[in-house]
């Protein structure tokens, strides 16, 4: 008994000591915290302050991309996402509900404004256990106007989330140059707009700006405490970028390329319009392309072909071979050479008509006809080293340095004699479209070559600082007088009888330029592809010729050439000219470049010839602008077209009918308008085929005709006539197994 009492006393003493020690430790800990204000080296006051300190991110506005005139190309805009609150706990006052109380009525109203059926909306609004719901893609990107209409319905529980989105108001518009931006979540969970291609990517840091912050002390529920101030660090909005592009000219280009794409469905197309005096790129596009808002079509091609692709240019390269030859004194326009086929070692260089040539012709005609042999001979006259020096001066084989990513440099093949020869006419050696534009600035700008650029200025909205891009001279490859001579020669490519550039003539503006038809290497065989469509058709041109205000390069790869009315395939110049001609002419007119001459036909009043003796008509009638054509073997004029007193255009014929037996004149070269006069006066049943001018008629000239006879007349344009003659000649002279060479 006594032993038990002792044991209990000992146990109580031990417990007393343990609890006393714990109490002592707690007192010491409390006093330590009270005196130092720290726990484990961390200030409790700071932790408490941090707990009740609220911080929010103030988003910086992404910079806007403009054209050079301040027209918007890409900008941030507000959009809204539709949200429905379903949780009844959000409503504290039944008279002013904050949740959806009538799903059926709400679904009926919303179906008028979003692309979703009433039943689909009703199903979403009836989801159980959800605090709030959204409506997928149909409920996103709600415009301000639609938002206001929905708000006017006063639907309980319906609210909106404000978001910003990148907006491209022009749709397909220099898409690979401008690129696109999209929202992405970073490692901290912050959603930001990031540039993924083109200018949006290259200048992402400049466009993005820096986010700001908002900090304030709050109570337990997050509300601002009384007498406490907000601490605001304002965001620095992204800088605005002004491109060198001109919206009008870019639109001309996009529209023309759309038409060619729809009609000829080429594999690829590139086109650039530039100011040769500054190097500004005024328009630039390509196909395939994509819509920057929806990204539709982007999978077809990610690359900016105008700066990232390199290819064999074909005969447009002859512009620079010609420039080198003129500058070095090797080009004599009146000197003659033997066209056709020329051997470099054992390798034949053939003109584009399968080596048949055109006999002994001048070098000027050789340029006009785009003779490969002429340019190989010019290379021999000036020497390999001289030619290579000029290629370097024009910037080939090296990037232009334009402010765009992934620019290719091209490759000059110059090791072997045959490589040097083919480089002279654009085969083997590769270039980029941007290099072609840079080189052409020297021809158009009197020998001063300008570096191309696409960003005109950058404006910081926070500091108002403006960084203006100044035009930069890239070199002086040729003298001013050489540039003028080359422009004059290239002008004859468009105007001369044998010129390959007739398709590129513009009404009111003189054009200087060079056509190109480059072969395409087949990656499977290593040889060049064959077939009418398997070429890159191109044109490098400028206008007006004497003082070019614009230069333009267009290349169309493998268009599906169609048959014209005569059953002949369209020439490769047709799809290229469908881009060059309207864009160049519309742009010059838009820039208020006055036509060099007013092209107006001379108009003459038609005399009254009825009742007159055909022998009494003066022989000098043509001096008065009247070309009189007699029908029939009679002596007295009974009818005429056009009628007396009508306006007669220069070159139009006056057809008169006499009282004798009818016959048919030789109408070769006539216009359709004049043929119609004959058919009407002789009462013939006319059937016309084609367009242009008469090339054949079924009834022989001077043969007798009677009323009701069938007259069939075939028409062709001058270009179609030339093409047919060339094709007929090729068909006769072509030998099996011969390799094709670049043609124009």
Active-site residues: which are they?
315
Place of tokens 């908002």: 214
- Cα Dmax for the chain: 171
SS3 722: helix
CB proximity list for 309: less than 8 A, separation 6 or greater: 270, 303, 408, 432, 433
Asked if 141 contacts 79 with a C-beta cutoff of 8 angstroms, the reply is: yes
**Helix H or strand E segment including 373:** helix 372-382
- Which has the closest alpha carbon to 289: 185, 405, 168, 455? 168
Q: What count of other Cβ atoms lies within 10 Å of the Cβ of residue 185?
A: 9
Q: List helix spans (H) across 154-272.
A: 175-178, 198-202, 204-208, 247-264
CB proximity list for 535: less than 8 A, separation 6 or greater: 314, 517, 518, 519, 520, 557, 558, 572, 743
For residue 243, the cross-strand partners are: 455
Backbone dihedral angles phi then psi of residue 652, each to the nearest 5 degrees: -80, 145
Q: What count of other Cβ atoms lies within 10 Å of the Cβ of residue 456?
A: 19
Structure-block tokens of residue 316:
């447009």
- β-pairing, 647-649 with 685-689? unpaired
- Which has the closest alpha carbon to 322: 85, 489, 203, 456? 489
Place of tokens 């090296």: 398
CB proximity list for 502: less than 8 A, separation 6 or greater: 494, 495, 718, 719
Structure-block tokens of residue 108:
């009926």
CB proximity list for 361: less than 8 A, separation 6 or greater: 336, 337, 339, 369, 371
What gap in Å lies between CA 596 and CA 508, rounded to an integer? 6
SS3 396: coil
């Amino acid at each position: 008994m006594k032993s038990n009492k002792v044991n209990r006393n000992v146990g109580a003493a031990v417990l007393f000591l343990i609890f006393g020690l714990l109490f002592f430790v707690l007192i010491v800990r409390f006093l330590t915290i009270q005196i130092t204000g720290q726990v484990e080296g961390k200030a409790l006051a700071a932790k408490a302050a941090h707990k009740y300190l609220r911080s929010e991110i103030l988003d910086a506005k992404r910079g806007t991309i403009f054209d050079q005139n301040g027209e918007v190309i890409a900008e941030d805009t507000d959009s809204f996402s539709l949200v429905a609150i379903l949780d009844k706990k959000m409503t504290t006052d039944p008279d002013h509900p904050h949740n959806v109380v009538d799903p059926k009525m709400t679904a009926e109203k919303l179906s008028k404004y979003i692309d979703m059926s009433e039943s689909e909306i009703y199903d979403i609004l009836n989801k159980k256990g959800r605090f709030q719901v959204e409506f997928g893609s149909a409920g996103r990107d709600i415009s301000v106007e639609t938002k206001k209409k929905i708000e006017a319905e006063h639907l309980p529980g319906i609210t909106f989330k404000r978001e910003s989105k990148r907006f491209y108001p022009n749709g397909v518009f220099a898409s690979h140059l401008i690129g696109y931006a999209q929202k992405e979540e970073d490692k901290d969970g912050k959603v930001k707009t990031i540039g993924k291609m083109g200018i949006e990517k290259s200048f992402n840091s400049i466009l993005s700006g820096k986010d700001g912050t908002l900090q304030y002390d709050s109570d337990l529920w997050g509300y601002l405490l009384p007498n406490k101030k907000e601490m605001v660090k304002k965001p620095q909005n992204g800088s605005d970028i002004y491109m060198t592009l001109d919206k009008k000219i870019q639109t001309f280009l996009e529209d023309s390329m759309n038409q060619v794409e729809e009609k000829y469905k080429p594999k690829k197309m590139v086109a650039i319009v530039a100011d040769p005096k500054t190097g500004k790129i005024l328009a630039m596009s390509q196909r395939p392309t994509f819509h920057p808002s929806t990204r539709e079509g982007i999978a077809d091609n990610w690359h900016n072909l105008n700066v990232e692709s390199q290819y064999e240019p074909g005969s447009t390269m002859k512009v620079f071979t010609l420039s080198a030859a003129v500058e070095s004194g090797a080009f004599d326009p009146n000197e003659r050479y033997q066209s056709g086929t020329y051997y470099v070692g054992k390798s034949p260089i053939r003109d584009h008509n399968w080596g048949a040539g055109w006999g002994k012709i001048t070098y000027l005609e050789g340029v006009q006809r785009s003779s490969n042999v002429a340019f190989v001979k010019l290379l021999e006259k000036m020497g390999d080293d001289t030619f290579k020096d000029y290629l370097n001066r024009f910037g080939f084989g090296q990037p232009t340095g334009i402010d765009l990513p992934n620019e290719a440099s091209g490759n000059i093949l110059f090791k072997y004699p045959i490589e040097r020869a083919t480089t002279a006419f654009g085969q083997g050696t590769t270039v980029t479209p941007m290099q072609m534009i840079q080189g052409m600035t020297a021809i158009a700008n009197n020998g001063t070559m300008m570096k191309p650029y696409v960003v005109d200025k950058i404006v910081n909205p926070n500091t108002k600082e403006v960084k203006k891009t100044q035009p930069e001279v890239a070199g002086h490859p040729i003298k001013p007088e050489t540039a003028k001579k080359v422009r004059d020669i290239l002008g004859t490519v468009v105007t001369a009888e044998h010129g390959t550039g007739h398709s590129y003539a513009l009404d009111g503006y003189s054009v200087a330029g060079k056509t190109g038809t480059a072969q395409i290497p087949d990656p499977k065989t290593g040889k060049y592809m064959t077939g009418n469509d398997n070429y890159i058709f191109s044109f490098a041109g400028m206008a007006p010729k004497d003082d070019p205000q614009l230069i333009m390069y267009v290349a169309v790869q493998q268009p599906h050439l169609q048959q014209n009315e005569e059953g002949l395939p369209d020439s490769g110049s047709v799809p290229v000219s469908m881009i060059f001609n309207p864009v160049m002419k519309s742009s010059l007119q838009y820039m208020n470049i006055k036509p060099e001459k007013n092209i107006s036909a001379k108009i003459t009043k038609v005399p009254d010839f009825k009742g007159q003796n055909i022998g009494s008509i003066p022989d000098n009638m043509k001096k008065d602008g009247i070309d009189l054509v007699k029908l029939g073997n009679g002596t007295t004029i009974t009818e005429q077209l056009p009628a007396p007193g009508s306006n007669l255009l220069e070159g139009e014929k006056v057809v008169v009918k006499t009282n004798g037996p009818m016959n048919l004149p030789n109408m070769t070269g006539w216009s359709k308008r004049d043929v119609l006069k004959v058919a009407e006066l002789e009462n013939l049943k006319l059937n016309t085929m084609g367009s242009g001018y008469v090339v054949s008629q079924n009834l022989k000239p001077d043969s007798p005709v009677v009323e009701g006879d069938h007259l069939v007349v075939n028409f062709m344009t001058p270009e179609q006539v030339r093409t047919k003659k060339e094709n007929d000649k090729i068909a006769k002279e072509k030998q099996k197994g011969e390799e094709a060479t670049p043609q124009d």
